[in-house]
Amino acid sequence: MQPHRWWPYFPLLFCFYAQDLFTPIILSVLIAYAANPLVAAIEAIRIPRAFAALLVVFTLVFGVGFGAYVLRNQANVVLQTLPTLVSAQKPHSRMVDRRWPWLLPEFPTSGGCHCCDPPRGSEEFRYIPGS
């Protein structure tokens, strides 16, 4: 009888199922490690360590919140223009020629790649039967 072969994968499976537990713990350890020099600098001016840590945490939370508040308009602009930008991306002409020739525009364009610069007002594509 052979032993079970799943035991080498146990740590990987454990980490996969416990990621909801480990993600905040690891994130908080990294933030504490990064904030330790700031706390030590505040502690050097004779402020208790607990109050210095509280001050640093509140400053970080306020800074992130203020940054989100200041950048909210730019984020709205990006989110509103993202669908237009994604739909404007065209596959490269060689890929279209070889794999999907029915996606070629009906009318040729002026210079350059014929699929990256479609003619204005033309939303029709020609169909090549048997492709």
Domain match, 101 and 42 both? no
Task: Report the interhelical angle of 19-43 vs 49-70 (nearest 10°).
Answer: 110
pLDDT of residue 81: 84
Please report where in the chains the tokens 């840590």 appear, as a residue.
Answer: 53
Domain match, 16 and 56 both? yes
Residue 3 counted as domain residue: no
Give the burial class of 92: count Cβ atoms within 10 A of its Cβ; 0-12 exposed, 13-18 middle, 19 or more buried: exposed
> Which tens digit of pLDDT belongs to each residue from 35-71?
999 999 999 999 999 999 999 999 999 999 999 999 9
Domain match, 48 and 94 both? no
Task: Report the interhelical angle of 10-17 vs 19-43 (nearest 10°).
Answer: 70
Q: How many domains does the chain have?
A: 2
Mean pLDDT of the region 78-98? 64
* Between 69 and 81, residue with greater pLDDT: 69
H or E element in which residue 4 lies: none
Residue 65 counted as domain residue: yes
pLDDT of residue 124: 54
pLDDT tier at 131, thresholds 50, 70, 90? low
- Where in the sequence is the domain holding 116, given as residue range(s)? 90-131
Domain match, 131 and 74 both? no
Q: What is the pTM of this model?
A: 0.51
* Between 46 and 120, residue with greater pLDDT: 46
Q: Could you give the percent of the chain with pLDDT greater than 70?
A: 60
Which two three-digit tokens encode residue 100?
């999907």
Residue 57 counted as domain residue: yes
Rounded CA gap, 73 and 37, in Å?
Answer: 33
Q: Are 115 and 105 in contact (CB under 8 A)?
A: yes
Mean pLDDT of the region 21-40? 93
